[in-house]
């Protein structure tokens, strides 16, 4: 029985290779396990070298039952034929072929042991029976691994190419499994086999199971049943059609959620870009065409910070956020003190002068950093994605940017509503002369407000550096969009900016599938142009005396 099983495993060669590759993921994760088992393993390994094939089979079995996590990696390398021993000290090693010889590493902890000539090492031979045993052992080890993610990946690998011989493994695992996602995948795998059984009741039950999962393989199996020449039994066909419809509707729901997510992430980028503008344009009434360039400065600050701390990319963003805030904020204050304060009350001139500043900043960056795009690294904790299920995966960088933009928004709201600076900013915005009469240093408030808006632009630049290329034109791509958001949401209204940004982002993403990205953008622009006709003061117009300015 067991022998049959092993032989059958050996047939599904490709499948288990994939399994083996996956197990490499966790191979060295526990390199520093307890010393005693390490010695044990090492002793066992040493016998590999000159034992007979029967001896090796025994060692493989003992490795499998040892419960040691490193067993997977060892078995994997044995199966892949990269397990060698060094001739001079008979030490068992893993080799990696390079251009001019072999690169050795330790079997147990992956430690590099240097390069050697080909003739200095000798391969540990295995035969077909052993290969079959190895594959079975690897599959079982992966399926019973203590990390659910590993188990899930193993099941997914198996059901990609399921056959009668692997199903017992899954059935066995099903009895012990506790994790919901792994359970779902296991059931799907078993059901995929059961669909082909002779018992109609079993088939119907299996179809029902398949209808409840989102794994693409389940859908393929069902599709095969409903095809014109697929299935003769009408009841089965009907059940399969219903199951497919069920999958389809669930997929649509998740597709919808995914689009909403993409929309929100685009919206949060817009929000970050527009929120600083909501301060300078909305609260102060200053058209700052250099806003995009302040974002660009923030992105370049991230780049410089990463250059300064090359070994600590994970923390670089934490440093970059305040750094970018300071850099962009100080540049903003300089712009306000140097140019804008002479132009209050002359919006068109402000627009032109700040546009000139944006050209200056762009060219300055071009001269200092070269006109080419710079690469900003993404920390490990921001890459990858959060898999909700097989139809919906949310990438971490977008997720973090949504959270980050909301955080920035909340912080800004707090500053404006709860601090004395916020109070003064609002007072100056509402009635400059009265504020002055009450003893507020309006010039100082102007500079700080502008610095705050600019600093937030810099922070937005840090976020953008994780999404797009960092180059001198980074800001230009966002300036029109962010003005649109502010105008759409209602000038001088932070909540309007929030709603405006998120809704524009979502609308854009919903238009994209049927019109293409560029046309979607054009449509949104036209929509805003028309919208301003209808409501010239945006979604949430300012009311009262402040609106007259």
Q: Minimal distance in Å, beta carbon 188 to another protein?
A: 42
What separation, in Å, do the N-terminal and C-terminal C-alpha atoms of the chain show? 88
Per-position DSSP letters for 479-506, written without gaps between them: HHHHHHHHHHH-TT-HHHHHHHHHHHHH
Q: Minimal distance in Å, beta carbon 497 to another protein?
A: 15
Considering the complex, state which of residue 107 and residue 365 has its C-beta at the smaller distance from another protein. 365
503 vs 210: CA distance, rounded Å = 36
Q: In terms of DSSP bridges, do strands 92-98 and 83-86 run parallel, antiparallel, or are they unpaired?
A: antiparallel
DSSP 374: B
Considering the complex, state which of residue 16 and residue 284 has its C-beta at the smaller distance from another protein. 284
Asked if 80 and 20 touch (Cβ cutoff 8 Å), the reply is yes
> For binding to another protein (CB under 8 A), which residues are involved?
287, 339, 342-343, 347-353, 355-360, 362-364, 366-367, 480, 483-484, 487, 518-519, 521-522, 525-526, 528-530, 532-534, 536
393 has which bridge partners?
387
Q: Minimal distance in Å, beta carbon 268 to another protein?
A: 21
Asked if 525 and 484 touch (Cβ cutoff 8 Å), the reply is yes
Asked if 425 and 416 touch (Cβ cutoff 8 Å), the reply is yes
Q: Minimal distance in Å, beta carbon 548 to another protein?
A: 12
Considering the complex, state which of residue 196 and residue 347 has its C-beta at the smaller distance from another protein. 347
Locate 318 and state its tokens: 């934490």
Locate 458 and state its tokens: 């810099």
398 vs 39: CA distance, rounded Å = 46
Q: Minimal distance in Å, beta carbon 536 to another protein?
A: 5
357 vs 149: CA distance, rounded Å = 52
**Residue 39: which residues within 8 A CB-CB, separation 6 or more?**
none
Q: Minimal distance in Å, beta carbon 515 to another protein?
A: 11
Q: In 3-state terms, what secondary structure has residue 442?
A: helix
Q: Minimal distance in Å, beta carbon 342 to another protein?
A: 6
Q: Minimal distance in Å, beta carbon 363 to another protein?
A: 4
Considering the complex, state which of residue 145 and residue 291 has its C-beta at the smaller distance from another protein. 291
Considering the complex, state which of residue 136 and residue 453 has its C-beta at the smaller distance from another protein. 453
Considering the complex, state which of residue 402 and residue 479 has its C-beta at the smaller distance from another protein. 479
Considering the complex, state which of residue 372 and residue 525 has its C-beta at the smaller distance from another protein. 525
**Nearest alpha carbon to residue 9 among 108, 66, 73, 75:** 75
Q: Minimal distance in Å, beta carbon 187 to another protein?
A: 47
385 vs 398: CA distance, rounded Å = 9
435 vs 424: CA distance, rounded Å = 8
DSSP 466: T
Tally of residues, the chain: 549
**Nearest alpha carbon to residue 48 among 8, 79, 19, 27:** 79
Q: Minimal distance in Å, beta carbon 359 to another protein?
A: 4
Look-up of token digits 């082909």: 196
Considering the complex, state which of residue 21 and residue 547 has its C-beta at the smaller distance from another protein. 547
148 vs 142: CA distance, rounded Å = 10
Considering the complex, state which of residue 60 and residue 491 has its C-beta at the smaller distance from another protein. 491
At 472, give phi and psi (nearest 5°): -65, -20
Considering the complex, state which of residue 115 and residue 349 has its C-beta at the smaller distance from another protein. 349
218 vs 162: CA distance, rounded Å = 11
Considering the complex, state which of residue 273 and residue 459 has its C-beta at the smaller distance from another protein. 273
């Amino acid at each position: 029985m067991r022998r049959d099983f092993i032989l059958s495993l050996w047939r599904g060669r490709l499948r288990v290779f994939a399994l083996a590759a996956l197990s490499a993921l966790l191979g060295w994760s526990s390199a520093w396990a307890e010393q005693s088992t390490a010695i044990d393993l090492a002793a066992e390994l040493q016998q590999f070298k000159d034992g007979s094939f029967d001896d090796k089979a025994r060692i493989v079995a003992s490795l499998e039952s040892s419960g040691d996590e490193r067993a997977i990696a060892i078995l994997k390398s044995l199966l892949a034929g990269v397990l060698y021993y060094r001739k001079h000290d008979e030490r068992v090693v893993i080799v990696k072929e390079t251009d001019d010889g072999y690169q050795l590493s330790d079997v147990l902890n992956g430690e590099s042991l240097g390069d050697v000539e080909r003739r200095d090492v000798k391969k540990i031979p295995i035969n077909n029976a052993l290969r079959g045993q190895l594959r079975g052992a690897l599959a079982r080890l992966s399926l019973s691994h203590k990390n659910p993610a590993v188990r899930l990946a193993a099941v997914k690998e198996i059901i990609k190419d399921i056959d009668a011989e692997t199903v017992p493994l899954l059935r066995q695992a099903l009895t012990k499994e506790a994790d919901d996602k792994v359970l779902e995948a296991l059931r799907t795998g078993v059901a995929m086999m059961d669909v082909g059984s002779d018992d109609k009741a079993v088939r119907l039950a299996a179809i029902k199971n398949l209808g409840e999962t989102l794994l693409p393989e389940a859908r393929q199996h069902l599709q095969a049943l409903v095809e014109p020449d697929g299935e003769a039994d009408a009841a089965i066909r009907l059940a399969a059609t219903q199951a497919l419809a069920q999958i389809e509707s669930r997929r649509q729901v998740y597709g919808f959620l995914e689009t909403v997510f993409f929309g929100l992430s685009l919206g949060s980028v817009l929000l970050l870009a527009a929120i600083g503008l909501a301060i300078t344009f909305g609260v102060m009434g200053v058209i700052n065409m250099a806003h995009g360039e302040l974002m660009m400065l923030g992105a370049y600050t991230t780049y410089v910070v990463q250059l300064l701390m090359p070994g600590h990319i994970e923390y670089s963003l934490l440093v970059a956020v305040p750094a970018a805030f300071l850099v962009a904020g100080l540049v903003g204050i300089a712009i306000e003190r140097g140019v804008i304060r002479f132009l209050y009350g002359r919006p068109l001139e402000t627009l032109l002068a700040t546009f000139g500043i944006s050209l200056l900043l762009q060219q300055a960056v071009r001269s200092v950093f070269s006109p080419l795009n710079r690469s900003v690294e993404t920390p490990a904790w921001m890459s990858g994605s959060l898999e909700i299920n097989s139809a919906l995966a949310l990438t971490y960088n977008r997720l973090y940017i949504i959270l980050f933009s909301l955080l920035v928004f909340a912080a800004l709201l707090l500053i404006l509503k709860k601090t004395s600076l916020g109070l003064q900013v609002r007072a100056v915005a509402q009635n400059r002369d009265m504020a002055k009469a009450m003893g507020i240093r309006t010039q100082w408030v102007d500079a700080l407000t502008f610095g705050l808006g600019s600093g937030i632009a810099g922070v937005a630049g840090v976020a953008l550096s994780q999404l797009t290329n960092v180059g001198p034109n980074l800001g230009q791509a966002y300036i029109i969009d962010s003005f649109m958001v502010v105008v759409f949401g209602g000038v001088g209204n932070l909540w309007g900016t929030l709603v405006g940004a998120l809704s524009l982002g979502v609308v854009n993403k919903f238009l994209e599938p049927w019109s293409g990205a560029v046309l979607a953008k054009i449509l949104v622009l036209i929509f805003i142009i028309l919208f301003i006709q209808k409501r010239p003061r945006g979604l949430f117009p300012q009311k009262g005396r402040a609106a007259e300015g």
